Each structure stands twice: as structure tokens, then as C-alpha cells.
Copies of this chain bind each other. A is one copy, B any other.
Amino acid sequence: MGNFHETLGINELKNKNAIWKALLAEFLANVLLNFFGCASCTHISGKPPSLVLIALTFGLVIFILAQTIEHVSGGHINPAVTAGMMATGNIGIVKGILYIIVQCLGALAGSAVLKALTPEDLHKSGLGNTQLAPGFSPIQGFGVEFFLGFVLILVICGVCDPNKPQAKPAATLAIGMAVAVGHLATVDFTGSSMNPARSFGSALIANNWTDHWVYWAGPILGGVAAALLYKHALAAPNLGPMR
């Protein structure tokens, strides 16, 4: 039973206080991600604002939220990140699934609050709902979202590697800027979700589920691939127990 319990991560859940705090932090961060991120996609003129504006919003909001809650929950704020951490054993399966559930609920709440706090004629633009651009097949969209999940989780592994303390001061900035890079390059292709919870929240509020599977399969499979590649081929050598 020991090994099985370990994989599920039952022991992680014994500290009730810590798990509740972590779930609260993930929930709250996803509320703020969807509120501010989708507000950046929503412009009073009804026209979409500049892509640089959208990309900087999503990148910087991840930077500041990760820097703020990292000590409570690890600062995943994204089911693709949680899936990558589950694949490499950094988080147990039960705790990981709880994370993903509250991330989705938080994103939904953030999108709902945005809808409540904006006049109705702003809702037509979709409130940040992610869609494939005309001409992109679902497979191409999946490929783009795979690369987006891949680069984000590769960077997270590289800058949070416990044997690379020198990467720590700029770690959360690099993570946020990975989100910014993804948006700068591909927001015009797929909306550059990179994050199933963020897409789920906007899709439910906009009630538009076209090609929604792309935004789950792409980032999660890309993220798991990056996490496994990093762990087995790129991880820094152990600094030893005395560090």
C-alpha cells in the first residue's frame, strides 16, 4: 500500500491547514489571472487592443502572482503546470487533481466577475475566449498549444531546479516572460491559451466550446513532455545535502 499511497500523494493531504491554504492560493490566483487577462482582451471601443498589451498583461500577471503565492502552493496557476509536476512526481495525484479543480473554478469566477463589472456591449468580443484563427486546423492549433505548454514548463523546470540556486532571483520573472513570449508570438494563431483552466473559464462564460479540446490536450501534453525531458536529460547535477 505504501507505494500506491505515495503515488496518489495521500500523505501530502494530512496537513489539512496547508492543503486548504494551497487550494485557496491557486483559486485566488486563477480568479485574478482571468479577471485581468481577459480584461486586457476586452476594450471599450469593442475592437481588440494591441497584441503587445495582451501579451504583457498575461505575462506580467503570472510573474506577480507566482512571486506572491509561490511559498503557499508552488504557484502553478495552470493545470498544464500541475500535470507536468504530477508526471515527474513533484506533486501527488490526488493533490494535483484538487489543484486542477480549484484552478478551473477560480478561472470561471474571474471571468464571471469581469462580465459582471463591464457593460453588456463589451461582452460581444467574447471576454477573452480563446479561438483558433481562420485557416488553422485543429491539429495545427493543437501543435501550437503543445509548443506553448512545452516552453512554459521547460522554463519552470529550468528556473526552479533545486540544484540551480543561482536561477532563483529571476525565476518567477522568467516564468512570467515565458507566458509573454507565447502570447506575443501566437496570440493571433490560437489565442495562446497555454492554460486549460484559463480557457475553460472564458469558454463557459462565453458559452463557446469550439475546438475546446485543443486547449486541454495541447498545453498538458506539451507540459508533460517538457517536464520529463528536463528531468531525464537536462536537470542540474545534485548539489549535495549540505547546500
**A positions within 8 Å CB-CB of B:** 21, 24-25, 28, 32, 35-37, 39-40, 43-45, 49-53, 55-57, 59-61, 63-65, 67-72, 113, 116-119, 121-122, 133-137, 140, 143-144, 147, 151, 154-155, 157-159, 161, 164, 166-174, 177-178, 180-182, 184-186, 188-189, 233-234, 236
Contacts and interface: CB of A to CB of B under 8 A. Distances in A.
A202 B155 CA distance: 24
A235 B174 CA distance: 24
A143 B117 contact: yes
A176 to B, nearest CB: 8
B167 A61 contact: no
Given A24-B234, A64-B174, A174-B68, A37 B185 contact: yes
A144 B167 contact: no
Contact of A51 (B53, B63, B69, B157): B53
A63 B177 contact: yes
A168 B171 CA distance: 12
Contacts of A166: 168
Contacts of A113: 143, 147
Q: DSSP majority for the A interface?
A: helix
Contacts of A67: 155, 158-159, 167, 170-171, 174
Contact of A57 (B49, B116, B181): B181
Contacts of A151: 32, 36, 64
Q: How many copies of this chain sit in the oligomeric assembly? A: 4
A39 B174 contact: no
A136 B56 CA distance: 25
Given A32-B151, A135-B44, A233 B21 contact: yes
Given A60-B177, A136-B119, A186 B39 contact: yes
A150 B102 CA distance: 20
A60 B181 contact: yes
Query: Which of A25, A39, A59, A181 is the most central at the interface, judged by chain B CB atoms within 10 Å of its CB?
Result: A181
A155 B39 contact: no
Contacts of A122: 135
Contact of A24 (B49, B50, B233): B233
Contact of A68 (B35, B159, B188): B159
B184 A68 contact: no
